Amino acid sequence: SEDEEQFTLDTNQSRKLNLSPQSGSFVVTSDNRDQLAERFNWDAITLDLPVAMTYTVQVDSITGDYSKPYVLAQSSGVDAAINYSQLNDAALALGGENGTSLAFKARVIATTNDPTVKAIASDDISLTITPYVGYPFNPLYLVGAATAPGWDNGSGNDKTNPALFIDLEDNNVYRYTGYFNADEFKVLSSLGNWQPQYGGRNGKVGVNDGNGSDPDNLVAPAAGYYDFVIDITGVTNTSEGESSVTITPNTTAATAATYTSIGLLGDAFPDNGFGGPDINLIQSTFDPHQWSIRNLVVGSGDIKFRANDAWDTSWGDDTSSYIGQGSNNGDPNIPASAGTYNVFFNDLDGRFIFIPVEE
């Protein structure tokens, strides 16, 4: 309407806006993720005309300028209840690391539907957040007559099938160097269930996630040690994607040293420490180079593997809290993440994997 009765809004108004509380410190854990961390609140803004305002709580790094803020909450009201997982997402998106407390700043801005109306921002408040990162990997397990458990998908053996080791560079690549019978096998993702299952298809990897048809069995042509590598990139029920699978005889394993015991120690185990005693893994009866321990409670801190209760032979890797490959060459400690795990270790190539036990 080109009428003098138009309502004109000063698009450049300032108002005082306060975000409360002024500060807060939050430690995210696997248990408190769904719990309320803080109810942020502010006062409603009234411009010189009554228009609907939207409030956005933004978080940024201490040095940031909110040019790419993390939006913690939006509301048409005057408060926002935030739970720990939301803070966690914010902290991780802004460079936070698992278990490390880091300071951030936050503010609330008031806007209208049209961005040409200048946003009204509160002063910054400070937030300290210690984020928590969940388990980032998708473990796979062996099943089949060529392997230790035979054709038991875990439901008959209390889920003791050996885990594959995950490549540090490419998490879609799984490796397993060890002993196979001259027989067939497959790869499972959920112990106790037959699907999803991986196997061969058209020279690559196939999967049945439950809605497809089963892939072919994989085959170890003769009894002995093999390097088994399976890359499941892009595999779906109907496509083999960019996958590949190889099973190559390993010529050195048969003569490799075998150890009497392999144990875990470090300050992640407050009762043991780096002084011991070692928490011994269980040696596979099928392949003496495969070691595992179940339902191991781990605190936060560092961990190493060592053989024969001595530091002569030890493995570690600080690339990840959950997977790695040691080289028995003054390796760094493993930065443990507190939790309960099934741990698998292969002394042929020093690879290990910590798989959290679901409650």
Q: Which of residues 150-209 bind another protein (CB under 8 A)?
A: 190, 193-196, 209
DSSP character string of 138-204: ---EEEBTTSTTBS--STTTTS-PPBPEEPSS-TTEEEEEEEE-SSEEEEESSTT-S-SEEEEETTE
> How buried is residue 101: exposed, middle or buried, by Cβ count under 10 Å (0-12/13-18/19+)?
middle
Question: Is 53 an interacting residue with respect to another protein (CB under 8 A)?
Answer: yes
Least gap, CB of 137 to another protein (angstroms): 16
Question: Is 348 an interacting residue with respect to another protein (CB under 8 A)?
Answer: no
Number of residues that bind another protein (CB under 8 A): 38
Question: Is 357 an interacting residue with respect to another protein (CB under 8 A)?
Answer: no
Name which of 117 and 142 has its Cβ closer to another protein.
117
Please choose, from the candidates 182, 227, 219, 181, the residue with its C-alpha nearest in 3D space to the C-alpha of residue 200: 219
Question: Is 223 an interacting residue with respect to another protein (CB under 8 A)?
Answer: no
Cα–Cα dist 93/78, whole Å: 25
Least gap, CB of 212 to another protein (angstroms): 9
How far the first Cα of the chain sits from its last, in Å, is: 64
Least gap, CB of 242 to another protein (angstroms): 16
What's the distance, CA 336 to chain centroid? 13
Name which of 81 and 103 has its Cβ closer to another protein.
81
Question: Is 76 an interacting residue with respect to another protein (CB under 8 A)?
Answer: yes
Name which of 143 and 262 has its Cβ closer to another protein.
143
Name which of 236 and 300 has its Cβ closer to another protein.
236
Question: Is 8 an interacting residue with respect to another protein (CB under 8 A)?
Answer: yes
Q: Which residue's structure tokens are 């150890």?
A: 259
- Answer yes or no: are the C-beta atoms of 122 and 107 closer than 8 Å: yes
Taking only Cα atoms into account, the Rg of the chain, rounded to an integer number of angstroms, comes to 27
Q: Which residue's structure tokens are 């560092």?
A: 302
Name which of 101 and 111 has its Cβ closer to another protein.
111
- Chain contacts with another protein (rule: CB under 8 A): 1-3, 6-11, 44, 49-54, 71, 73-77, 80-81, 112-114, 116-117, 190, 193-196, 209-211, 236
